[in-house]
Structure 1
Amino acid sequence: MRKQGYTYILLDLDGTITDSKEGLLESYRAGLAAVHFSDYTEEQLLSFLGPPLRQSLKYSFGFDETTLDAAMQGFRERLAVAGIEKNTLYPGVREFLQWAHGQGKKLIVATSKTSRIARGALERCGILGDFDMVAGKDEAGGAGEKAAVIAYVLEHFPGIQKEECVMIGDRKYDILGAREMGMDAIAVLYGYGSREELESCCPDALCESLQDVKKLL
């Protein structure tokens, strides 16, 4: 960790800023119902929280491309509503954002959701205006890999140095994406990833809460 602090703070959305589990699970079920697939467990659905969904569906269920397209369409249609409406802020988020602004930090959302849905969820929670940028998978291109979203963020700020940046997230995909882009990463334990998962990818720090994160920054 850099002792002099960071200027740019990148935060994952689901599991880090907002608890969107209810809306995501509802949307997963809708996607699977669209292809008349019911041979899944709730544990499998929970494992989809975080990574790109298309890859998870292919890996878990062996869907062909046509089935994947149909499942993703059903998922997106439901997520367009549930992904915005069914979100609650984690404890300490508002206080953390206020503190970061007071310190002159740049706040950026880096999410595997589309930017439209991410902005809608943040607006509904009343914090959209707290962010200098909301970067989603649609703007970054690719299948929603976190490294691609982070790369898009870096391109957006001319002259930005990776040493000035830190990624905060709750799943290994956030930590590994930051590592791939040469950026420091902090893992938070209150979201969807387990301690075992997060420790396995060796984040620069592992925090129980955003209050703990603030002490590091």
Structure 2
Amino acid sequence: MDAHPHPPTVLIDVDGTISDSLPGIRAGFLAALAAVDEPTPEESFLARIAGPPMVDSFAALGITGDRARRALAAYRAQQAAGGWADTRMFDGWPGLLDGWRAAGFRIATATSKGGVFTRRVLARFGILDRFDAIGAADDAGDRRAKDEVIGHTLRMLGLPAVRRAGYRPDDPDAAGGAGPGGPALAGVVLVGDRSHDFAGAHVFGLPAVAVGWGYGDAAERARADEIAADAAGLDAAVRRLLAGAG
């Protein structure tokens, strides 16, 4: 793992990967819908709102333009009032992060959650100090999509953010993985739970590991390069992919 000029690096999604945050996100989403007089959708829709940018979920319901701006403001107000804390940490994370740091890995988030709430959640879990950088959505709302967040995070870490594919999170037939030419940026791997995570990683030629928990379904996880059923499997997959980047 010493053939590239930077430390082995792990980029990690937060909602659905580290944080079981759907209860708080769901409550904020319902507050946002109420603010713009939008009827409550079916539970099958609400079960999938954690992970993608909130404006994407609004758009899927036909909430755009000024209505979307008002809905997003209501969502953020609910989160700021304490909704962000309605979460728990999935099992195994402190040990994973400590093990990777002991191995000399650099660790950063790459999340569509805003930076302020990302830091609050990680601090609540007692793991904020394990991260070298917090890559997140722009709290002002200009950087939301996962490919934008990953590109921003790579630049924060002093790494090139060179695109080699389009961002196609909703296309199950989109090409994934590092491709036949090998990874565009060796020694970096992304961990997530939704198709947005894997599609965003593949924009930059990064391999991705899908966690078997979280909010993605089997079809979404199939778009990742590896799938980890538990913390031990995730540790092995990350180390294997980083070693393979040589």
State TM-score, norm by structure 1: 0.90
* Corresponding position: 1:189 with 2:190: no
* Alpha carbons 2:27, 2:83 under 8 Å: kept: no
Taking the TM superposition and a 5 Å limit, the aligned residue runs for 1:108-123 are 108-123=108-123
1:132 is matched with which residue?
132
Change in Cα spacing, 1:52 to 1:159, as seen in structure 2 (3 Å) is: closer
* Alpha carbons 1:142, 1:148 under 8 Å: kept: no
Change in Cα spacing, 1:179 to 1:141, as seen in structure 2 (3 Å) is: farther
Pairwise CA distance, 1:197: 2.1
Change in Cα spacing, 1:12 to 1:159, as seen in structure 2 (3 Å) is: closer
* Alpha carbons 1:8, 1:165 under 8 Å: kept: yes
Pairwise CA distance, 1:46: 1.4
1:25 is matched with which residue?
26
Pairwise CA distance, 1:198: 1.7
Alignment-mate amino acid for residue 7 of structure 1: P
Alignment-mate amino acid for residue 47 of structure 1: R
Q: How far apart, in 1, do the equivalents of 2:227 and 2:132 lie? A: 25
- The structure carrying a bigger helix percent of its residues is 1
* Paired positions, count: 212
Structure 1: segments with no counterpart, 5+ residues: none
Aligned-residue RMSD, C-alpha: 2.1
Change in Cα spacing, 1:198 to 1:100, as seen in structure 2 (3 Å) is: same
Q: How far apart, in 1, do the equivalents of 2:233 and 2:196 lie? A: 21
Q: How far apart, in 2, do the equivalents of 1:165 and 1:43 lie? A: 34
Change in Cα spacing, 1:71 to 1:159, as seen in structure 2 (3 Å) is: closer
Q: SS where residue 119 of structure 1 aligns?
A: helix
Taking the TM superposition and a 5 Å limit, the aligned residue runs for 1:1-217 are 7-59=8-60, 61-138=61-138, 142-158=142-158, 162-199=185-222, 201=223, 203-216=224-237, 217=239
Change in Cα spacing, 1:189 to 1:66, as seen in structure 2 (3 Å) is: same
* Alpha carbons 2:21, 2:50 under 8 Å: kept: no
State TM-score, norm by structure 2: 0.80
Structure 2: segments with no counterpart, 5+ residues: 161-183, 240-246
* Alpha carbons 1:109, 1:133 under 8 Å: kept: yes
Alignment-mate amino acid for residue 53 of structure 2: P
* Alpha carbons 2:13, 2:191 under 8 Å: kept: yes
Q: How far apart, in 2, do the equivalents of 1:89 and 1:58 lie? A: 29
Q: How far apart, in 2, do the equivalents of 1:83 and 1:213 lie? A: 29
Q: How far apart, in 1, do the equivalents of 2:38 and 2:142 lie? A: 26
User: Relative to structure 2, which stretch is displaced further, 78-87 or 188-197?
Assistant: 78-87
User: Relative to structure 2, which stretch is displaced further, 175-184 or 36-45?
Assistant: 36-45
Instruction: Give the fraction of aligned pairs with identical amino acids, expressed as a percent.
Output: 30
